[in-house]
Amino acid sequence: MNMFESSLIKQQFNDDGFAIIQNFFDRSIIDELKIETEKLVSQFENDEKSGLYIFTAGTEMKSDQYFLESGDKIRYFLEKDAFDYDGNLVVNIKHSLNKIGHALHWLNPVFRRFTFNEKFKQLAMTLGLKDPVIVQSMIIFKNPKIGGEVVEHQDASYLHTFPKPNGSVIGFWIPFEDATEQNGCLEFIPGSHQTIPLPSRWIRSKNPINGSTQMKHTNPDVKYVGQFIPAPAKSGSCVVIDGMVVHRSAPNHSDLPRPIYTFHMFDRAKFDDSRWDENNWLQPTDELPFPSLYDN
């Protein structure tokens, strides 16, 4: 990126809460990620435990231990619409995945090399991030016909920071194939990162009956007010997402897949007293403290 491009990206991001950088990566790099994704899917197909862990974004967010302990692991989550009412799989098992997460950026060599690419470091610096650490990463499949809706939300409701979430959590979102209005591209309320306070949180809590850890939605009936606009992105592009901007994606009813790789960062030096919320579902562990983008 030259200085002019960097200025435009930062301006759009500051104004709208997101920015689209078309053709950020060459096709050869995206092809490498697709090949590695196929290898991961093949490993899943051979796993005797496959088919047990359905993931639904939004008000039914998964809260069992398989999900809650996935921050330092690579785990597989299935689409609910891959099954009929009797629990029978209605698609090929390799097409049943919702996502793979949440430590691809550290545990998989190909995705680790990609995540710590110099282009991401330069982009983070362009956006003014002082000391970003990677907190999670995912491949999200949005497979044809069954790729589920992601309801409107703010990432800060899952990945909350103090003293305030504004500008502390940022996502990078990279499509492997063209993300279009037909196959479920992202949609945003531009500027909502500045106008809509955080009305809802997903927090860890104790089950009053058995004492196990579960997720609690503090305001499940929140409705966001604003005009959503679609944000199509070509394969190899990068969409930058502020943790406070309201966004969503529609179900994929098309015949075309919409696989993407995404990771989130927390700028631990954004404010003098920036800190990660201990009530977030995702927490650093001894096995995987949040790694620095700039130092790796």
Tell me the DSSP string of 95-136.
G-EEEEEE-HHHHSHHHHHHHT-HHHHHHHHHTT-SSEEEEE
| pLDDT value of position 92 | 81
* pLDDT, average across residues 147-167: 93
pLDDT class of 5 with cuts at 50, 70, 90: confident
Q: Does a structural domain hold residue 284?
A: no
Q: Binning pLDDT at 50, 70 and 90, where does residue 90 land?
A: confident
Q: Is residue 12 part of a domain?
A: yes
Per-residue burial over 188-226, b if 16 or more Cβ lie within 10 Å, else e, is bbbbbbeebebebbbbbeeeeeeeeebbebeeeebebee
Q: What is the pLDDT of residue 264?
A: 98
Whole-number percent of the chain with pLDDT over 90: 73
> Which residues constitute the domain of residue 83?
3-276
206 has a pLDDT exceeding 80: no
Query: Who has greater pLDDT, 96 or 84?
Result: 96
Q: What is the CATH number of the domain that holds 107?
A: 2.60.120.620
58 compared with 114, residue with greater pLDDT: 114
Burial label for 75, CB within 10 Å (0-12, 13-18, 19+), is: middle
The pLDDT value given to residue 48: 44
CA trace torsion 259, 25, 104, 34 (10° rounding):
50
pLDDT (tens digit, 9 = 90+) per residue, 247-271?
999 999 999 999 999 999 999 999 9
Is there a domain that residue 291 lies in?
A: no
Name the β-bridge partners of 188: 229, 247
Q: Does some domain include residue 80?
A: yes
Q: CB under 8 Å, gap of 24 or more: what pairs does 220-226 form?
A: 220/59, 224/152, 224/189, 224/192, 224/196, 225/196, 226/189, 226/192, 226/195, 226/196
For residue 266, what are the β-bridge partners?
Answer: 133, 169
What was the pLDDT predicted at 47? 66
Under the banding of pLDDT at 50, 70 and 90, the label for residue 240 is very high
- Measured CA to CA, the distance from residue 132 to residue 5 in angstroms comes to 22
Give the pair of three-digit tokens for residue 12: 């759009």
- End-to-end CA distance of the chain, in Å? 21
Report pLDDT for 60. 46
pLDDT for 221 equals 83
- Distance of alpha carbon 140 from alpha carbon 185, whole angstroms: 12
pLDDT confidence of residue 55? 54
- The predicted structure's pLDDT at residue 213: 80
**Over the stretch 27-63, which tens digit does the pLDDT of each residue have?**
999 999 999 999 999 988 766 444 455 555 554 455 5
* Domain assignment of residue 154, yes or no: yes
Contact criterion met (CB below 8 Å) for 189 and 228: yes
- 295 or 209: which leads in pLDDT: 295
pTM reported for the whole predicted model: 0.93
Residue with tokens 């030259």: 2
Residue 282 covered by a domain: no
The answer to whether position 126 is within a domain reads: yes
Count how many domains the chain has. Answer: 1
pLDDT of residue 59: 47
pLDDT band at 2 (very low <50, low <70, confident <90, very high): confident
Q: What is the pLDDT averaged over residues 84-96?
A: 78
Q: Give domain status of residue 288, yes or no.
A: no
**Average predicted confidence (pLDDT) for the chain:** 91
Alpha carbon of 51 to those of 65, 92, 119, 215: distances in Å?
Answer: 16, 11, 36, 22
Max Cα-Cα span within the chain: 58
